[in-house]
Amino acid sequence: MLWPFLGCMALFCTLLQLNQPKYPTLLDSSGHTSTIYRLPNQTIPLVCKSVHPHFADLLLPVEQAAYEQFSAHDLPPGLLSYHGIHDEISNGIVLEFAELGNLHDWLLDGNVPTKDMLYKWTYQAAEALEFAHKLGVLHSDIHCLNFFLTKTLDLKVGDWGGASIDGGQSHCSYRYSHRLFGVDGADIPAEKGISKATEIFALGTAFYVMISGKEPWPELKEPRDRLEIRERIVNRQFPDPGGLKILGDVVAKCWSGGFDSMTEIRRAIEDERDRDIKKLEHD
């Protein structure tokens, strides 16, 4: 009677192994449009972003095209390196692994960045977006969930699947709190498309969240309070960025339309950082 029992146990264990994924998923990595798998690698930490089948035809070709454009040039530090399409994981794009996850969750965990970290991160984000814009790639979904941190605390702008490339259609758009509405109530990304102006506005809100550690209107939640969020943006009822410990003027100009390009934002960050350094040297 023992052999049939052992035979059943062996079969059961074999079935368990077959059902186990070959590549482990990262904790909390199964999102609305993709799942992230950790890949074994001896030199560079890598992951595979597997786009869910329902979205693959729309998002995967765009993200692949964006990364191939980026990889044809010298990458700035603020972009994930691209390593092609995975030959086993379906709809899988292989990217550099940012070990600390996204910035939004890092802040929610109670981490508080120093001024030096904030200057570095805002500069890296602006530089990465400047690089992308010069290649005709507009991100279309800028917020701190799409900013990723490496174990060396460098920031990487990721998730380019919804990008607008060379004026093409974007298949996603900004969160309401990061979305540019006209003073007449017009939904500018929806009515006029993704542009440098909509990108700059969204980056201003992302910077506000990064620096303050909270949303512009923390009492309002999406999607429940979308109409109120829209009304506040239409009426330009923003929180006072003057209370931020750095870059309050940069955030204010992003919101007011005071910048025309990511290059101007990057230079403004650099200028304020240099002034701060000189002030510390004289104190």
Residues 87 and 107 in one domain: no
Domain that holds residue 160: 101-282
Do the domain assignments include residue 18? no
pLDDT at 43: 87
Residues 66 and 84 in one domain: yes
Do the domain assignments include residue 50? yes
Give the pair of three-digit tokens for residue 237: 């009822």
pLDDT above 60: residue 199: yes
Asked if 189 and 179 count as a contact pair (C-beta separation under 8 A), the reply is yes
Do the domain assignments include residue 17? no
Q: What is the pLDDT of residues 81-140, one digit of tens each?
A: 999 999 999 999 999 999 999 999 999 999 999 999 999 999 999 999 999 999 999 999
Residues 87 and 117 in one domain: no
pLDDT at 80: 97
| CATH label of the domain that carries residue 139 | 1.10.510.10
Q: What is the pLDDT of residues 154-179, one digit of tens each?
A: 999 999 999 999 999 999 889 999 99
Give the pair of three-digit tokens for residue 53: 């089948």
* The domain boundary residue, chosen from 58, 75, 96: 96
Residues 113 and 201 in one domain: yes
* The domain boundary residue, chosen from 54, 73, 96: 96
Residues 65 and 154 in one domain: no
Q: What is the pLDDT of residues 200-254, one digit of tens each?
A: 999 999 999 999 999 999 999 999 999 999 999 999 999 999 999 999 999 999 9
Residues 39 and 91 in one domain: yes
Residues 138 and 266 in one domain: yes
Higher pLDDT, 30 or 71: 71
CA distances from 51 to 74, 116, 144, 166, 252 (A): 26, 35, 20, 23, 36
* The domain boundary residue, chosen from 40, 64, 96: 96
How many domains does the chain fold into?
2
pLDDT at 222: 93
CA distances from 280 to 117, 118, 200, 246 (A): 16, 17, 30, 14
Q: Is the pTM of this model over 0.85?
A: yes
| CATH label of the domain that carries residue 59 | 3.30.200
Backbone φ and ψ for 60, nearest 5 degrees, come out as -65, -45
pLDDT at 27: 62
Binning pLDDT at 50, 70 and 90, where does residue 61 land? very high
pLDDT at 28: 62
Residues 134 and 164 in one domain: yes
Residues 156 and 255 in one domain: yes
Residues 121 and 90 in one domain: no
Q: What is the pLDDT of residues 2-34, one digit of tens each?
A: 344 334 433 433 333 333 358 888 766 556 899
Q: Which of 117, 135, 121 is nearest to 78 (CA)?
A: 121
